[in-house]
Structure 1
Amino acid sequence: MTQIKTIGFVGLGVMGEHMCANLVRKSGLPVHIFDRSPEAIARVAEAGGIAAPSLEAVGAAADVVFLSLPSIDQVETVCESLLQAAPAPRMIVDMSTSDVARTRALAARLAAAGIAFVDAPVARTREAAVQGTLFITVGGDAGEVEAIRGFLACMGSDVLHCGAVGCGQIVKILNNITVMMTVNALSEVLTIGRRAGVDGRELFNALSQGSADSFVLRNHGLKSLVPDSFPEKVFPVDYAIKDAALALSLARAGGFEPHIATYTHDMLCKTRDAGFAPNYHPAVIQLIDGRAGAPRG
Structure 2
Amino acid sequence: MSKYKTLGFIGLGVMGEPMCNNLVRKSGLPVHIFDMNADAVGRVAANGGKAEASAADVGAKADVVFLSLPSIDQVEPVARALAGGARKPAMIVDMSTSDVARSRALAAELKARGVAFVDAPVARTAEAALKGTLLISVGGSVAQYEELKPLLSCMGSDVLHCGDTGCGQVVKILNNMMVFMTVNALSEVLTIGRRAGMDGERLFELLAGGSADSFALRNHGMKSLVKDSFPEKVFPMVYAIKDASLALSLAKAGSFQPKIASYTYNLMCQAHDAGIVNNYHPAIVQLVDGRITPKQDVKP
Normalization by structure 2: what TM-score? 0.97
Report the more deviating stretch, 123-132 or 139-148. Answer: 139-148
Asked if 1:65 corresponds to 2:68, the answer is no
Match of 2:179 in 1: 179
Kindly indicate whether the alpha-carbon contact (under 8 Å) linking 2:122 and 2:134 is maintained by their aligned counterparts in 1.
yes
Task: Tell me the secondary structure at the aligned position of residue 153 of structure 2.
Answer: helix
Match of 1:276 in 2: 276
Match of 2:146 in 1: 146
What is the 5 A alignment of 1:108-127?
108-127=108-127
Match of 2:97 in 1: 97
Match of 1:193 in 2: 193
CA–CA distance in 2 between the matches of 1:295 and 1:43? Answer: 41
CA–CA distance in 1 between the matches of 2:86 and 2:183? Answer: 47
Amino acid at match of 1:163: G
What is the 5 A alignment of 1:175-254?
175-254=175-254
Structure 1 residue runs of 5 or longer lacking an equivalent are none
Amino acid at match of 1:214: S
CA offset at residue 145 of structure 1?
1.5
Amino acid at match of 1:291: R
CA–CA distance in 2 between the matches of 1:82 and 1:295? Answer: 43
What is the 5 A alignment of 1:251-262?
251-262=251-262
Match of 1:37 in 2: 37
Match of 1:82 in 2: 82
CA–CA distance in 2 between the matches of 1:69 and 1:8? Answer: 14
Normalization by structure 1: what TM-score? 0.98
CA offset at residue 77 of structure 1?
1.4
CA–CA distance in 2 between the matches of 1:160 and 1:5? Answer: 23
Report the more deviating stretch, 81-90 or 192-201. Answer: 81-90
Task: Tell me the secondary structure at the aligned position of residue 110 of structure 1.
Answer: helix
CA–CA distance in 1 between the matches of 2:97 and 2:119? Answer: 9
Kindly indicate whether the alpha-carbon contact (under 8 Å) linking 1:94 and 1:121 is maintained by their aligned counterparts in 2.
yes
* Deviation string, structure 1 residues 270-289 (Cα, Å, up to 9, x no partner): 11101111110001011111
Kindly indicate whether the alpha-carbon contact (under 8 Å) linking 2:271 and 2:294 is maintained by their aligned counterparts in 1.
no
Match of 1:137 in 2: 137
Kindly indicate whether the alpha-carbon contact (under 8 Å) linking 2:56 and 2:85 is maintained by their aligned counterparts in 1.
yes
Match of 1:25 in 2: 25
CA–CA distance in 2 between the matches of 1:57 and 1:106? Answer: 21
Identity %: 68
* Deviation string, structure 1 residues 86-140 (Cα, Å, up to 9, x no partner): 2011100000010000000000000000000110000111110000000001000
Match of 2:265 in 1: 265
CA offset at residue 37 of structure 1?
0.6
Structure 2 residue runs of 5 or longer lacking an equivalent are none
Kindly indicate whether the alpha-carbon contact (under 8 Å) linking 1:275 and 1:295 is maintained by their aligned counterparts in 2.
no
CA–CA distance in 1 between the matches of 2:276 and 2:12? Answer: 24
Kindly indicate whether the alpha-carbon contact (under 8 Å) linking 2:80 and 2:110 is maintained by their aligned counterparts in 1.
no
Kindly indicate whether the alpha-carbon contact (under 8 Å) linking 1:65 and 1:89 is maintained by their aligned counterparts in 2.
yes
Report the more deviating stretch, 112-121 or 77-86. Answer: 77-86
Kindly indicate whether the alpha-carbon contact (under 8 Å) linking 2:204 and 2:217 is maintained by their aligned counterparts in 1.
yes
CA–CA distance in 1 between the matches of 2:11 and 2:228? Answer: 30
CA–CA distance in 2 between the matches of 1:186 and 1:61? Answer: 48
Task: Tell me the secondary structure at the aligned position of residue 65 of structure 1.
Answer: strand
